[in-house]
Amino acid sequence: MLALHPARTHTAGMTYAPMKSTKSKAVTKPEFKPSKALAAANFVLSAPTPQHLPPDRGAEIAFAGRSNAGKSSALNALTGQSALARVSKTPGRTQQLVVFQIDESRRLIDLPGYGFAKVPGEIQEVWHRALDEYFRERQSLAGLLLAMDVRHPLTEYDQIMLAFARARVLPVHILLTKADKLGRSAATNVLHTVRKGLADHRAAASVQLFSSTERSGLDVATKWVETRLGISDQP
Ligand SMILES: Nc1nc2c(ncn2[C@@H]2O[C@H](COP(=O)(O)OP(=O)(O)OP(=O)(O)O)[C@@H](O)[C@H]2O)c(=O)[nH]1
Ligand SMILES: [Mg+2]
């Protein structure tokens, strides 16, 4: 068992105070065109348990991470579809394993977040059991995109996920999300600290800064997803 449920309190990772943005509101977002393959993603179903998922064939990338870390927003940004996955200010928005199909053999899976204290204990228990089973048994799981709020990276839950992925030899790419909430140099410091933390734990995950709202880091993340899924098309 992945033991994602022991601590319901906020976890022990590093914390970073938000910095006031110095950017003017008029700054335009960088141009990002989603890749053709990811732009084709469409909703298939929401699975309350892994038994409800499509057949375990082909390859899929799962968006994992703490509740409210920005998983669903990242999925929308990467596919260039602002309302594909449901996003909410209220943690605990994604409540099932939500399946988006890219083509007949490739999928993106938006997962419920772990570790949100206000979700009632019994519901957390159900989610964690579903996640645990999914992570352990899903053969088509080809990689994890692990979202961590750049202000609270490497929480206890994240470390459990990394340890699990290592045991399963599952590639992990970490998105340090909401990078727009920190100034550039503070965000870069976090990136270096997380890289060092991963190396210290001999975790082989790659890591990058990412912002769905500012659409930054999308090219690198797209490339990782496409490589893992064996997609080679150009945007
Ligand atoms: N500033 C900023 N806010 C973001 C970013 N990404 C997500 N958010 C906000 O963070 C909140 C949570 O985003 P979601 O994408 O729903 O997070 P999630 O990880 O899917 O959350 P759960 O499904 O509840 O686990 C929403 O209010 C988003 O608008 C980002 O890059 N920058
Ligand atoms: Mg979500």
Q: Is the CB of 35 under 6 A from ligand 1?
A: no
Is 111 buried (19+), middle (13-18) or exposed (0-12) by CB count in 10 A?
buried
Residue 37's SS3 state is: helix
Domains of the chain: 36-229 (3.40.50.300)
Closest atom, ligand 1, to C-alpha of 68: 21
Provide the pLDDT for residue 28: 58
Q: Is the CB of 21 under 6 A from ligand 1?
A: no
CA dihedral over 25, 176, 114, 14, signed as positive or negative: negative
Alpha carbon nearest to ligand 1 atom 26, residue = 89
Q: Are 146 and 174 in contact (CB under 8 A)?
A: yes
Q: In whole angstroms, what is the distance from residue 78 CA to residue 80 CA?
A: 6
Closest atom, ligand 1, to C-alpha of 177: 31
Ligand at minimal distance from the CA of 217 is: 1
The pocket of ion ligand 2, defined by CB under 5 A, consists of 71-72, 93-94
Tokens of residue 222, six digits: 């797209």
Number of residues that make up the chain: 235
Alpha carbon nearest to ligand 1 atom 8, residue = 70
Q: In whole angstroms, what is the distance from residue 177 CA to residue 208 CA?
A: 9
Ligand at minimal distance from the CA of 115 is: 1
Ligand at minimal distance from the CA of 69 is: 1
Provide the pLDDT for residue 66: 92
Q: Are 25 and 210 in contact (CB under 8 A)?
A: no
Ligand at minimal distance from the CA of 71 is: 1
Show the CA angle centred on residue 140, arms to residues 200 and 109, nearest 5°: 80
Q: Are 209 and 191 in contact (CB under 8 A)?
A: yes
Provide the pLDDT for residue 201: 76
Q: In whole angstroms, what is the distance from residue 186 CA to residue 40 CA?
A: 35
Q: Which pLDDT tens digits describe the chain residue by residue (235 residues)?
A: 555 544 433 334 444 444 444 444 455 555 788 999 999 999 999 999 999 999 999 999 999 999 999 999 999 999 999 999 999 888 877 888 999 999 999 999 999 888 766 667 777 777 788 888 999 999 999 999 999 999 999 998 899 889 889 988 999 999 999 999 999 999 999 999 999 999 887 778 999 999 999 999 999 999 999 999 999 865 4
Region for 55 from its dihedrals, namely left if φ exceeds 0, alpha if ψ lies in -120 to 50, beta otherwise: beta
Choose among 201, 144, 200, 140: nearest CA to 175.
Answer: 144
Tokens of residue 208, six digits: 């990058």
Q: In whole angstroms, what is the distance from residue 4 CA to residue 162 CA?
A: 12
Pairing of strands 59-65, 106-110: parallel
Which helix (H) or strand (E) segment is 163 a member of? helix 156-168
Q: Is the CB of 91 under 6 A from ligand 1?
A: yes
Q: Is the CB of 106 under 6 A from ligand 1?
A: no
Mutate to test the pocket of ligand 1, among 212, 214, 216, 218 (most ligand atoms within 8 A of CB): 212
Is 122 buried (19+), middle (13-18) or exposed (0-12) by CB count in 10 A?
exposed
Q: Is the CB of 216 under 6 A from ligand 1?
A: no
